[in-house]
Amino acid sequence: MFSCDIDINRLTKKAKKSRPREEYPVGKQPAKALKRGRTMGPDLWGLSANQINGNDQLRVGRGPGYPDEILSTKIIGERQFGKAVKLFSSTTNLRPAALGPGFAAGTTDGPGMFGFQQGDTEINEFWKQLRDLLKEPSKYQPAILPIQMLSLGNFVILSVPGGLTNTYSQYVATFEEYKQQRYEAASTLYGPRTLSAYIQEFTKLAKAMATGEMPAVVGLLPPDLSSVQISLLQDPLGDSPPPGKRFGDMEEDVAQPKGGSFKKGDKPRATFWSANPRNDLC
C-alpha cells in the first residue's frame, strides 16, 4: 500500500493483521457499517468507528478537513488523484539484467538440461551456491541499450535491441507473460516492466519525431567491448584478389533494363571483389 498523506486509518492492530487489504483512506462521517468494498476518490464513504471499552465515542475517525466532512472528502480525493498521476507518470524502474531458472529449461525446439523446467521460479541449493560464486554481474549483459526510430515517409521502423539486433538483450515479454516464467519470460532480462520501459522511451522518440524536436540527450552510450570479446571461431585466412584485381573492383556491373528504368519487382544484380567480412584490418 502506498501513502498519499490522508489521515489515520480506522483499523485496529488486530484488523490490520486479519484484513491487510482493507486499509483504505477514509474521510466521510458518520460511521457506517463495515463493508468489504470501498470506493476511492472524492465520493469516499464507509468509515467504521472503533470502540474503546465499549464506547464508540472515544475513538472517532477524522478526516484532514475536520470538522468539515465535505472538505475532508475533497482533500482526500485530490491527494489520491495527485499520487495516482505521480505514479502513472513516474519513470519505469527496471532490475539489473538477470535470467530466470526457466531460461535453462530451453524450449521445445531446443530443450535444456539438468532438470530445469519452464515455469520454475526456484532453484536447488547446488545452483544457489554456484550462483553465489558469481557475485559480480557479467559485463557482457547490457546495462545500456541503444534504440532507434526511423521514418520512411509514413512508414516508421522501431529498432528494438531484443534478440540479435543491435545489442543482444534476449526476449521482451509482456507484464502478464512474465509472471508465467516460461522460457521467453525467464529470458526477459530487466524484469516484468521491460516492455513498459521500451514503450516509455519509444513514446519520447515518437513525440520528438512528430513535433520535429530533438529528443533529450541522456549522455549514455553502450560500452565498446570489442577488445575483450571472446571468439571460438578460427580467424579467417588471408584474403587476396586475383592478379590484376583489387578489393572493391567491379566484376559485373548492374545491367540496364531494356526499358531504360527499373520497375517494381526487378532485381538489379552486381558482383564485385570483396574480402571476408570477418577480417579485422584495424
pLDDT digits (tens, 9 = 90+) for 223-256: 887 787 777 888 777 788 889 998 889 988 988 8
- pLDDT score at 208: 92
What residues does 157 pair with on adjacent strands? 150
Q: Rounded distance, CA 184 to CA 189, Å? A: 10
Binned at pLDDT 50, 70 and 90, residue 22 comes out as very low
* Preceding omega of 30 cis (within 30 degrees of 0): yes
DSSP state of 228: G
Highest mean pLDDT range out of 55-69, 180-194, 237-251?
Answer: 180-194
Tell me if 171 is assigned to a ligand binding site: yes
pLDDT, tens digit, for every residue of 76-120? Answer: 999 998 888 777 666 667 888 888 888 888 888 788 788 788 888
Which of 46, 51, 129, 41 has its CA nearest to residue 78? 41
Alpha helices in 13-150 (DSSP H): 13-18, 69-89, 101-105, 125-133
Q: Rounded distance, CA 274 to CA 145, Å? A: 32
Neighbouring residues of 241: CB distance < 8 A, sequence distance ≥ 6: 247, 249, 273
- pLDDT score at 90: 62
- pLDDT score at 42: 45
In the chain, count of helices (H) and strands (E)?
7, 6
- pLDDT score at 229: 76
- pLDDT score at 103: 85
Binned at pLDDT 50, 70 and 90, residue 30 comes out as very low
- pLDDT score at 137: 65
DSSP state of 239: P
What would the mean pLDDT of 64-77 be, rounded to a whole number? 89
Judged by average pLDDT, the poorest of 62-66, 119-123, 160-164, 257-261 is 160-164
- pLDDT score at 207: 92
Mean pLDDT estimate for the chain: 76
What would the mean pLDDT of 250-270 be, rounded to a whole number? 86
- Cα Rg for the chain, rounded, in angstroms? 31
Q: 251 near 269, Cβ under 8 Å?
A: no
